[in-house]
Chain A
Amino acid sequence: MKTTILKFQNPLKFCAVALFATLTFSSCSNDDDVSTPVNEEELITTVTAIYTPTDGSTAITLLYKDLDGEGANAPVITVSSAFAKNKTYNGTVTFKNELASPTEDITPEIVEEGVDHQLFYQITGSLNAFMYGSAASNFDSNGNPVGLQTVFTTSDAAAGTLTITLRHQPIKTGVNVANGDITNAAGSTDAEVSFPIIVE
């Protein structure tokens, strides 16, 4: 292009070429592909925690659903029933993207990338603590907890909230982090959901 420019001894010819170039360049810039909206595969819309009592009675489901992600609608929070006194519950948390079709279960991804993820369980009120489950599947390849599984042992009647936090790239070696203390975990939060809990 640089060499051809020298040939334009006639200014009008040059203008004609410039104008032509304008039209060609502009016309080839319409590459919009708007036929489908963005598929937000990575989004977490739903957090489900299922607590099964060791005595075989009915499991309790904690469900947190926010189907529009960062959209304006408030999330929907449901707790299927109250916990019973003096029982031990084994809990498992799953993460789903219900905007994907079919619904995508994100939990295996978290397990696979276990070294980069950890769940934390914080309680308020008079509730007993939620402890990490001891099964090998609850730990990453370095032997640090991922924390999808917890054990909740009830004693007397109590009430409060449970906050489940999924941290991405936490410092698992931080003080007390392996025991489930979020204080020194750092990292960035992928999900943080709270449920009202009653023990009666």
Chain B
Amino acid sequence: MSKKILVFFCFVVCTNALYSQHTISGKIISKEPISASDTHIHIGNKVINITVDDSFTAKNLPSRKTNIFISQLGFQSIDTIINLKSDLVINFELKRLANKLAEVVIHHTANSPAKSTIDQQIQLHTIEQFSNQSLGDALKNLAGVSTLKSGNAVVKPIINGLYGSRVPIINNNVRLEDQQWGTEHAPNFDINAAQKITVIKGASGLQYSGDAIGGLVIIEPTNSLKDTLFGKTILNLDSNGKGGSLSTSMHKGNDNGLRWNALATYKYMGDKQAPNYVLSNTGNREINFSGDLTYSGKKYEATAFYSYYKSVIGILSASHTGNVNDLCQSINNKVPSIITDFTYSINNPKQDVTHHIAKFNFNYELDETAHLSFQYSYQYNKRLEFDVRRSDYNDMAALDLDLKTNTLNIDFRKEEHDWKIKSGITTSAQNNYADPATGIRPLIPNYNRIDFGMYGIANYNFSNSFSIDGGVRYDYSKIDATKYYQKSRWDERGYDATFPQFAVEDFGTQWLTKPTFSFHNVSASTGFHKRLDNGWHFYSNISFASRNPNPSEFFSDGLHHATGVIELGDLNLDKEQSTKMAVTIKKVFDEFSFEFNPYYHSIKDYIFLKPVGFETTIRGAFPVWEYQQTDARLFGVDVQTQWNISTNWQHSLALAYVNGKDKNQDAPLIDMPPLNINNKIKFHKSAWHDLLLELKSELVLKQNQYPDNNFYTNIIVDNEFESVLVDISTPPPAYQLLHFYSEMKFNTFKNTATTVAFSVQNILNTSYRDYLNRQRFFADEIGRSFQIQLKFNY
């Protein structure tokens, strides 16, 4: 709605003459009576009261883009910008709020009622640009978010230096449970299903989780409240990988009664291409569906939602190494050991992942100010990983995990004039089953996990320009695992002395063990937001959170083929405890705005992999890394600026720096994103079919802060053993990439808007490697790619 108003006024207002001081007046219209005292109108910096006949007047407004915000409890708020150049008379119609879910679970402007942290959001236009890529690729546009990759199709977000179990992903109010502990496991989510993606840095999103030490990624799907039926189809073609994707969706909106959404996506890509060679076996496929049906009554709303995600991802052939000498050769040769001709087919190693989510919501309006919501969700994640094996074993998965999660959430929201209170309880039961038919001892054992959590958050506005918030959460978690340990490993770990009670049955060379752990965690967050009249904003927040060790940190005990390292878990691990202080200073000038966000993060008992020695197996000697705990601290800063150079030209910048340190050892933390600076110049002209041209520079410096985990291996050269350095630590050099994006909109048919986009990624076909790509030992990143996107809105 706000977009239409904006467009309308741009037309009307632009034709008028220029004056320095103007008046906006008008009336608030509604089908139902509204209370004058509960209606808030902000025009520019002014707070306006409405009179008994529901009209309003704002005088002495300067000529400039002016923000209008109108809100009334129980009604959809109006948030729009008009380019004020003359006096205006304008009426606003307030509509009853149909979507109570959005109000209870997700606040319309900020996902976290903690207003003391600033949310960063990715809007639909950017999401659509990344339609053929992944969630992680799109999130990278935000300052302070980088990606941890395994090849090109497996992309995980890193927020302020942290990832994996430390960054939960909330999809449509369901916490994704998809074996997210693994660095080679991408979030099981189709980016086309998102309308808006929000990133909360740090643990202040207490209604979602108490263990989001790194932050939260919150995905909201399309949900129209207008009484319309509309559809969208996006076709993507990509020269690199010689494939593309097709995504199509239909949405039926409604104020009351029934509304529904449906979406399907299909993706098909062949081998990707680095500047100098084919990245063999890097094709992928994806097929997704999601749909929901909502019925709104006057006092309640009920929704059923289902989504299906399936992807098959080829893993670079050259990244499978048998032993340290193979790895050493790959690193030193600098060219993948296996390069074959381009193909669409996917061979081993590969991943085949399926994820189902089914959920039911029921939201009930207790009175004008209070709402109650129930949500039950069921998730089923099946992960199959295929490895390079001998003969018939090739068709047998090397890892076969079934993860089932049931969750029930009950949330309550109450809004009084200056107060906003939310509280709720959540309980979930999870079962992981590792199929023994793989013939390989599973990385993750069978387990049952029970979680219970409760939270309360409050926000109080002292005035229109000053608010404080605070929240507390309690979580209980219990995990009952079943795992076979080799007796040699059990004894080597010292578990025979520390955990004799877990060993329940003797199977010759192995123990059947039943480790059990339970945790009680308290997390909290508090802060304030102060807005000054001259456009300065100050946000300050401190959050405290705890994260329990994940199954891989507890139970790993085997060789990791991509890194050539034996990784060992530790049953003695305790939870991580994090304290993060973050400040954001934001200033909005007329044509320029910036956000400056420094933070300091202290993590007690930070869990990480540490090299501890070597073990010899029949494949040769391997370095052994074990999960240990230390006290870590991270500090950094994220900067974003936006400059409207002229009507058509815009510049934006995003910069992020993070420094992580292991305090106990006085050494840098591994896998910290290096300093990165993104600059974007944008040209937009509405008159030319909404022409948009963007040139983006992505500069990533070399990470100089890294722990030295290098080791030596013996290789036979000229009939003598020679000790050769295996450099797994040194980060790759700095690189700069240029990307281009352009689009135009056409009204091809009646009621159909067509957007044609053409883009080039890595214009200069630069060869580079990324420190945060697990396959950087084996191959370069992908080279230049030309992409065409056709989007039809109807």
Contacts and interface: CB of A to CB of B under 8 A. Distances in A.
Interface of A: 1-2, 5-6, 8-9, 11, 14-15, 18-19, 21-22, 25-26, 29-34, 36-42, 44-45, 47, 64, 66-75, 99, 106, 109-110, 112-113, 122-125, 127, 160-161, 163, 167-169, 186-193
Given A11-B364, A31-B433, A113-B390, A71 B488 contact: yes
Given A25-B378, A127-B719, 9 more contacts: A14-B374, A19-B408, A30-B431, A38-B438, A71-B489, A109-B391, A123-B719, A186-B338, A192-B618
Interface in B404-423: 404, 406, 408
B391 A168 contact: no
* Residue in B393, B406, B507 with the greatest tally of chain A CB atoms within 10 Å: B406
B370 to A, nearest CB: 14
Contacts, number: 183
A193 B304 contact: no
B436 A38 contact: yes
Nearest to B360: A18
A70 B558 contact: yes
Sort A-B residue pairs by CB-CB distance and give the 8 closest, nearest first: A189-B322, A72-B492, A188-B322, A186-B337, A71-B486, A71-B488, A192-B620, A73-B488
A22 B512 CA distance: 30
B304 A1 contact: yes
Contacts of A2: 293, 304
A39 B396 CA distance: 13
Contacts of B436: 33, 36-39
B617 interface: yes
Interface in B479-514: 482, 484, 486-489, 491-493, 507, 509-510, 512
B524 to A, nearest CB: 28
Interface residues of B, number: 69
Contact of A122 (B293, B389, B566, B716): B716
A192 B714 CA distance: 12
- Chain A residues touching B, majority SS: loop
Contacts of B395: none
Interface in B424-444: 429, 431, 433, 436, 438-442
A62 to B, nearest CB: 13
Contacts of A109: 390-391
A63 to B, nearest CB: 12
Contact of A15 (B362, B438, B484, B512): B362
A36 to B, nearest CB: 7
B378 A11 contact: no
A66 B374 CA distance: 55
* Residue in A25, A74, A161 with the greatest tally of chain B CB atoms within 10 Å: A25
B600 interface: no
Nearest to A192: B620
B376 A18 contact: yes
A8 B302 contact: yes
Contacts of B616: 66, 74-75
25 contacts: A6-B295, A11-B364, A15-B362, A15-B374, A19-B408, A25-B378, A26-B429, A29-B404, A31-B433, A36-B507, A38-B441, A39-B436, A45-B618, A47-B618, A67-B509, A68-B488, A69-B617, A70-B615, A72-B492, A72-B493, A75-B616, A123-B719, A124-B720, A187-B337, A188-B388
B376 A169 contact: no
Contact of B406 (A15, A26, A44, A70): A26
A194 to B, nearest CB: 9
Given A14-B362, A47-B618, A67-B509, A42 B559 contact: no
Interface string B269-307: 000000000000000000000000101010010111000
B267 interface: no
B462 interface: no
B719 A125 contact: yes
Interface in B546-565: 557-559
Given A8-B362, A42-B393, A67-B509, A37 B484 contact: yes
B71 to A, nearest CB: 27
B390 A193 contact: no
A110 to B, nearest CB: 8
A45 B578 CA distance: 44
A100 B697 CA distance: 57
B198 interface: no
B368 interface: no
Contacts of A124: 716, 719-721
A168 to B, nearest CB: 7
A46 to B, nearest CB: 8
Nearest to A24: B406
A5 B376 contact: no
A121 B445 CA distance: 39
B393 to A, nearest CB: 5
B125 interface: no
Nearest to A112: B391
A109 B338 CA distance: 23
B326 interface: yes
B446 interface: yes
B391 A113 contact: yes
A40 B439 contact: yes
Contact of B442 (A38, A44, A67, A106): A38
B4 interface: no
A115 to B, nearest CB: 12
